[in-house]
Amino acid sequence: MTDRYAVIGNPIGHTKSPLIHGSFAQETRQDLSYTAIEGPLEPQDAFAATVRAFIADGGKGMNVTAPFKLKAFAMADVRSERAALAGAANALSFQDGRIVAENFDGVGLVRDIEINLNLPMADKRVLVLGAGGAVRGALLPFIAARAAELVVANRNLAKVELLVEQVAASGGALLACGYGELEAMGRFDLVVNATSASLTGELPPVPSSVFSPTGAAYELAYGKRLTPFLRVARDAGVLGIADGVGMLVEQAAEAFAWWRGVRPETRAVIDRLTIPLD
């Protein structure tokens, strides 16, 4: 029987996941179906009921997107360490009656930066902007990449300090700061905008002095062309700019490999989904 997978979110009309996983399945000759499900926002327990109905129908795994990542994490029986730090799941696997929660956002981001963009982070100065769900999901893989210095800046200082405290408890070294402190910190080899500012066309208050002419700027949002952040980075003269299309495809590849035991090629799918930045 064909194995069933799906992405669940609300709204879900914009999702690229069926296209991505459909391409992976074709390329690796896996017999599976992958659909998009609009999850119910109300009542409170309707999301979990939808997931359980999908499992009862033969579902093997799900990708989870906004606004359900926290609920997916909460309903799991088993949780990976990186999902636990994020407090959020972007992928579920249904195994022997148990729901297993994973979070591949961070590992997808790091693979895109280090492999696709050829920017290994070891011994580099890395600055991450934001301290919300996207950053929580990314931090452990970022720490594993062994940057010389990892700085996380956020408007709300208490929020980023709390996050750093939690990560420090599991052995990771990083520095929390406010935007006002960045000017004195010099240039970074990589600046990652993981705030939600670009979704509303806003610019995080990052000084142009953080960008390096030999460095790069990465925007987590994708398909939004030259966001205010990328524009500032480009005007500051960075060597490379990129948006999150590669991260999107790489996190999907991680989930696919986790579910199916075979790793798909990502290059062709990334090329297909890439919208030129300008």
Taking CB atoms, the residue at the shortest distance from ligand ATR is 132
Up-side HSE of residue 149: CA atoms within 13 Å toward CB? Answer: 14
Is residue 60 part of the annotated active site? The answer reads: no
Cβ 90 to ligand ATR shortest distance, Å = 11
Q: Which long-range contacts (CB under 8 A, 24 or more apart) does 44-52 make?
A: 47/8, 47/71, 47/72, 47/75, 48/75, 50/8, 51/8, 51/75, 51/92, 51/99
* 134 makes contact with ligand ATR (CB under 6 A): yes
Strands 149-153 and 125-129: parallel
Q: Return d(Cα 234, Cα 231) in angstroms, integer.
A: 5
* 132 makes contact with ligand ATR (CB under 6 A): yes
Exactly one of 130, 215, 244, 264 binds ligand ATR (CB under 6 A); which one?
130
Q: Which entry of 16, 69, 71, 124 is annotated as an active-site residue?
A: 69
Q: Which amino acid is at 62?
A: M
- The stretch among 54-62, 77-85, 93-101, 131-139 that binds ligand ATR (CB under 6 A) is 131-139
Specify the residue, 139 or 269, whose C-beta has the smaller distance to ligand ATR.
139
* 224 makes contact with ligand ATR (CB under 6 A): no
Assign 3-state DSSP to the chain and report helix, strand, coil percentages, each to 5: 40, 25, 35
* 207 makes contact with ligand ATR (CB under 6 A): no
Exactly one of 52, 60, 159, 231 binds ligand ATR (CB under 6 A); which one?
159
Specify the residue, 63 or 195, whose C-beta has the smaller distance to ligand ATR.
195
* 154 makes contact with ligand ATR (CB under 6 A): yes
**Residue 28 Cα distances to 16, 91, 115, 228, 257, angstroms:** 19, 20, 21, 38, 10
Name the nearest CA neighbour of 6 among 255, 231, 240. 255
* 233 makes contact with ligand ATR (CB under 6 A): no
Residues 40-99 that bind ligand ATR (CB under 6 A): none
- The stretch among 34-42, 48-56, 125-133, 257-265 that binds ligand ATR (CB under 6 A) is 125-133
Q: Return d(Cα 134, Cα 152) in angstroms, integer.
A: 12
Residues in CB range of 49: below 8 A, 6 or more apart: none
Beta-carbon count within 10 A of 169 CB: 9
Q: Which amino acid is at 251?
A: Q
Exactly one of 26, 156, 208, 214 binds ligand ATR (CB under 6 A); which one?
156
Residues 186-205 that bind ligand ATR (CB under 6 A): 195-197, 202, 204
Exactly one of 155, 224, 225, 234 binds ligand ATR (CB under 6 A); which one?
155
Active-site positions read: 69
Positions touching ligand ATR (CB under 6 A) are 130-134, 154-156, 159, 195-197, 202, 204
